[in-house]
């Protein structure tokens, strides 16, 4: 349609500029065009502009990931949040949308053309951007879940959490130890609590498909060397049980207890329980012999002490008797 902004060219331009020296004027111009289109064209002609919706969200994601312009990044995240409002208010337009390259059931078109692009790009922002930007992206992603999750189908949730759990993927964590520590302490920690909040809010649809995966993720967090993340894992497990325990079935309780048991086993100080002083293992070839020798020595000492005590008592009695006879 006339006046529709060419988002595909905008994405290419923004992506290219991210690899070149910062061009403030170009970025500002692109942001202005995208802002105008999202707030005006989509507002008035969303059904006609659906074909450009995914490109628009992708374009905003590229603006966010341009580290040279943090203010633009935050504004772009706000616009992505605004895109979720369009999807929520106009689901019928997405259901009725058809294209030659789209073989999707009408009921899933809202997810494929609407929610998934938004949430996927937010996950990319979380994995690619610096701390302040990715924290804002993480917050917005879970705000969208909490605000619109009632309209999500079960299999949509399953696809969504496959994206969310990538935050904890070892293969995607930073290689540098300091960066990895920061990632676990901030992003992983924040995401863990947010996941548990969403799970509690939508327990009925999520318990059947995500409970086992969430317990697995909590166990992973507890096993990490990062103490704060490990503590958060146990705290989140406690919160899940306290807030949702009344709804647990016997089968869910069994899974929960198994999860707790595994956490206890993984965090018990086994090395301390089997610790021996240095050199003790070299002095004895068999611990059982050592225990037997120790018991023999202990018994001998006890018998000797008892015998000495008996003699001492007899001597005291004789002395007492002697004194008594003298008095008489």
- Give the tens place of pLDDT for each residue, 94-124: 888 777 556 778 788 899 989 999 999 999 9
* In a domain? residue 306: no
Question: d(Cα 173, Cα 176) in Å, to the nearest integer?
Answer: 9
Dihedral over alpha carbons 176, 169, 127, 229 (to 10 degrees): -70
Q: At what angle do helices 24-36 and 53-64 cross, to 10 degrees?
A: 140
Structural domain containing residue 1: 1-152
What confidence tens digit (pLDDT) does each residue in 168-190 have?
986 667 777 888 888 999 999 99
What confidence tens digit (pLDDT) does each residue in 59-91 have?
889 889 888 888 888 989 999 999 999 999 988
Among 130-134, 179-183, 202-206, the least confident range = 179-183
Question: d(Cα 23, Cα 42) in Å, to the nearest integer?
Answer: 27
Select the more confidently predicted residue: 277 or 151.
Answer: 151
* pLDDT value for 294: 43
Same domain, 4 and 135: yes
* In a domain? residue 316: no
Q: What is the rounded average pLDDT of the residues 256-282? A: 79
Same domain, 78 and 213: no
Dihedral over alpha carbons 121, 85, 60, 139 (to 10 degrees): -60
* pLDDT value for 327: 46
* In a domain? residue 111: yes
Long-range contacts (CB closer than 8 Å, 24 or more residues apart) made by 136-139? 136/74, 136/77, 137/64, 137/77, 138/167, 138/187, 138/190, 138/191, 138/194, 139/190
Share above pLDDT 90 across residues of the chain, in percent, rounded to a whole number: 42
Q: Are 98 and 47 within 8 A, CB to CB?
A: no
Total domain count, the chain: 2
Task: Give the burial string for 151-189 (b: 16+ CB within 10 Å, else e).
Answer: ebeeebbebbbebbbebbeeeebeeeeeebeebbebbbb
Helix (H, G, I), strand (E, B) or coil at 173: coil
pLDDT of 218 strictly over 90: yes
pLDDT of 18 strictly over 50: no
Select the more confidently predicted residue: 229 or 15.
Answer: 229
Among 10-19, 131-140, 167-176, 296-305, the least confident range = 10-19
* In a domain? residue 200: yes
* In a domain? residue 48: yes
* In a domain? residue 130: yes
Q: Are 1 and 45 within 8 A, CB to CB?
A: yes
Q: Are 119 and 160 within 8 A, CB to CB?
A: yes
Same domain, 114 and 240: no
* In a domain? residue 70: yes
Question: d(Cα 253, Cα 61) in Å, to the nearest integer?
Answer: 41
* In a domain? residue 12: yes
Query: Average model confidence (pLDDT) for the chain?
Result: 79
* pLDDT value for 95: 86
* pLDDT value for 133: 94
pLDDT of 289 strictly over 80: no
Residues 6+ apart with CB under 8 A from 150: 202
* pLDDT value for 29: 59
pLDDT of 196 strictly over 90: yes
Same domain, 6 and 96: yes
């Amino acid at each position: 349609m006339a006046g529709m902004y060419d988002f595909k060219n905008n994405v290419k331009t923004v992506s290219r500029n991210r690899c070149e020296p910062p061009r403030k004027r170009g970025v500002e111009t692109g942001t202005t065009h995208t802002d105008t289109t999202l707030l005006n064209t989509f507002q008035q002609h969303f059904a006609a502009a659906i074909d450009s919706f995914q490109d628009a969200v992708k374009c905003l994601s590229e603006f966010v990931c341009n580290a040279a312009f943090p203010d633009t990044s935050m504004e772009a995240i706000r616009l992505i949040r605004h895109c979720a409002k369009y999807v929520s208010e106009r689901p019928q337009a997405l259901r009725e949308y058809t294209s030659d390259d789209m073989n999707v059931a009408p009921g899933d078109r809202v997810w494929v053309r609407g929610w998934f692009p938004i949430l996927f790009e937010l996950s990319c922002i979380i994995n690619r951007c610096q701390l302040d930007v990715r924290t804002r992206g993480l917050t917005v992603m879970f705000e969208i879940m909490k605000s619109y999750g009632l309209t999500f189908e079960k299999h949509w949730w399953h696809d969504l959490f496959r994206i969310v759990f990538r935050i904890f993927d070892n293969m995607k964590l930073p290689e540098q130890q300091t960066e990895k520590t920061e990632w676990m302490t901030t992003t992983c920690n924040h995401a863990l609590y947010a996941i548990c909040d969403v799970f509690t809010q939508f327990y009925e649809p999520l318990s059947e498909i995500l409970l086992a995966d969430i317990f697995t993720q909590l166990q992973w967090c507890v096993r990490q060397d990062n103490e704060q993340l490990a503590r958060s894992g146990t705290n989140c497990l406690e919160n899940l049980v306290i807030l949702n325990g009344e709804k647990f079935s016997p089968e869910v309780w069994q899974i929960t207890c198994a999860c707790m048991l595994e956490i206890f086993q993984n965090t018990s100080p086994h090395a301390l329980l089997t610790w021996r002083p240095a050199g003790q293992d070299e002095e004895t070839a068999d611990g059982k012999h050592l225990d037997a020798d120790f018991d023999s020595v202990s018994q001998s000492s006890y018998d000797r002490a008892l015998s000495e005590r008996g003699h001492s008592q007899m001597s005291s009695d004789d002395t007492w008797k002697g004194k008594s006879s003298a008095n008489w």
